[in-house]
Structure 1
Amino acid sequence: MDPLHDWRITAEPRYQPQGDEVALFEAAWAARLPVMLKGPTGCGKSRFVEHMAWKLGRPLVTVACNEDMSAADLVGRFLLEPGGTRWQDGPLTLAARHGGICYLDEVVEARQDTVVVIHALTDHRRQLPLDKKGELLRAHPDFQLVISYNPGYQSLVKDLKPSTRQRFCAFDFDYPAAAQEAAVLVAETGVAAPLAAQLIEVAHAARRLKGHGLAEGISTRLLVNAGTLIQRGVAPAAAARMAMVQPITDDADIRESLEHAIDALLT
């Protein structure tokens, strides 16, 4: 039985390259170098990792990091059962033991004492000490670690230590250029190209407000949500309000500004 069967990607995840990131990731994979992805919410970081795992034929074990996540949540723990105790590998251990790509999404959300457990896996040692089990796990030759986070949410409290950062190769992601983003929107939802272009103009109006009342602009993910609603029969202006404006802000002035853009472009 394949221990990573459930994490194998059987259908190609659609991904629109923005540059040479596919070839660069393949080079990092060939050297089994750990990779860091940085970029705003909903710009395609997770889809890129899924696409690369599919392209490389490797299972992808994804962990959504949070502030309550402990080292045991990553590494594993003993479980109490009627017949005694049984060790259960955590997702990081599972990928390291059997040769998957482990993807720690929004890694800065995890406590720094939890993140430290990846250090021995991300240098020449490629080892994971399982202290509670008394095992020193040597990573499978096909194991790779990938992490991601949004630099826009960085703070002195939530940031990676230099000792962690310098173990990774890094990619900077951003929202695609307008033509590329329109192609993504058409491919993902089936909306007509002129309508896709209009939705993206609304998104650009919001992105220009980042740092001026908005923590984040309208993401590609939200554009896809709007296109999906339109394909379900929702009027474009209503879909844009529901999927693109209302989720990102409760500020009345910013909403009014974006409503004007919708009225000008979609009605």
Structure 2
Amino acid sequence: MTAEEMRNFFGGQGLRPELLAQAAAFREANPWQGKREVNAPRFPYFGTEILTAALTALLAGANLLLAGPKATGKNILAENLAVLLGRPLWNVSFHIDVDASYLIGMDTFKGGEVCFRPGPVHDCVTAGGICVLDEINMARNEALAVLHSLLDHRRQLEVPGYDRLNLHPATRFIATMNYGYSGTRELNEALLSRFVVIHMPVPGESELTSLLKYEFPDLRETVARTMAALFLDLRQKYEAREISGRALDLRGLLEALRLIKLGLTAGQAFSMGLTGKCFDLQERALAEDIIALRLPADWGREEIFAG
């Protein structure tokens, strides 16, 4: 699906015409002419209410924080928003080694001379892209400090030894954070005040079924609903802390269906895509039992796909 087809898709999903018109006006006022491509996301985001709120926030010029547990579609939503605004994405994944110089840039040698090598945030904000600050609650204080003036009304940053960095008017920031991951922490009030926050809902059976049918149009309707219910069973066990998040893997579920389509049985495919990621034997057995209650292990392509 091209970027234009993706935008038309959302018109059919219930996004208000005036909101789509505002997004079109934004694209017209800020045409993208850079080398980086505006790529259509792999999947559309299914959830009109959340998409409406998020798009409205970005059109208003706000910085957006998407907070929620695993497999709620935070990065998929960010990719969809970028297409609707006609801007490319720069993704910055925070971890212990990400510091200010990585984000903004640093001195380096080129041709025997010292020159400035810009970082991903520098590249994004000067070009006017969408900067995704992934897992922002894993960032070090030093890394966050350089973002404060970029994220508030000043929209600029003093780069020591170089010119002041001014944001392109079309630049937008989208931060994501998960709850309860090892190494995460609470965001301080000064940083939180620079964002509007959306708490991402857990996708229900309807949204999951729509996603599965979008990716696999020939997936039998009853099987699509079964797969969605299966994924919700795994989430329930995860939230009850009976299994870890390893088996709660939407990408793994989709990969398992691709393997089945190419000839593997359901048992083989789900072992490779989901349960094999559980290295604790007891946890793996529990995940296998959950799947077995919904789907026979010997089912193959004929039972799961039509035609």
- TM-score over 0.5 for the pair: yes
Is contact 2:235-2:248 (8 Å) kept?
yes
Alignment match of 1:201 (pick from 229, 236, 256): 229
Aligned length: 262
Corresponding residue for residue 99 of structure 2: 70
Is contact 2:252-2:274 (8 Å) kept?
yes
CA RMSD of aligned residues (A): 2.1
Unpaired segments ≥5 residues, structure 2:
1-31, 297-307
Q: Structure 1's 89 and 3: CA in aligned 2 closer, same or farther, altered over 3 A?
A: farther
Q: Counterpart amino acid of 1:250? A: F
Residues 96-125 of structure 1: per-residue CA shift (max 9 Å, x gap): 112111111112222122112111011111
5 Å matches for 1:168-187?
A: 168-187=195-214
Q: Give the structure, 1 or 2, with the largest relative contact order (CA under 8 Å, sep 6 or more).
A: 1
Is contact 1:43-1:219 (8 Å) kept?
no
CA distance in 2, matches of 1:12, 1:219: 18
CA apart distance, 1:56: 0.7
Q: Given the two structures, how large is their TM-score scaled by the length of structure 1?
A: 0.89
Alignment match of 1:121 (pick from 140, 150, 165): 150
CA apart distance, 1:75: 0.3
Corresponding residue for residue 25 of structure 2: none
Residues 173-221 of structure 1: per-residue CA shift (max 9 Å, x gap): 1331112101101212443332222223332222122242334361333
CA distance in 2, matches of 1:12, 1:111: 29
% identical aligned pairs: 26
Alignment match of 1:143 (pick from 171, 174, 181): 171
State yes or no: 1:32 paired with 2:38: no
Unpaired segments ≥5 residues, structure 1:
none
CA apart distance, 1:89: 1.4
CA distance in 2, matches of 1:182, 1:123: 39
Corresponding residue for residue 18 of structure 1: 47
Is contact 1:112-1:160 (8 Å) kept?
no
CA distance in 2, matches of 1:218, 1:87: 43
Residues 113-153 of structure 1: per-residue CA shift (max 9 Å, x gap): 2112111011111112212x332212111111111011132
3-state SS, counterpart of residue 107 of structure 2: strand
State yes or no: 1:92 paired with 2:129: no
State yes or no: 1:236 paired with 2:278: no
Is contact 1:42-1:222 (8 Å) kept?
no
CA distance in 2, matches of 1:92, 1:119: 13
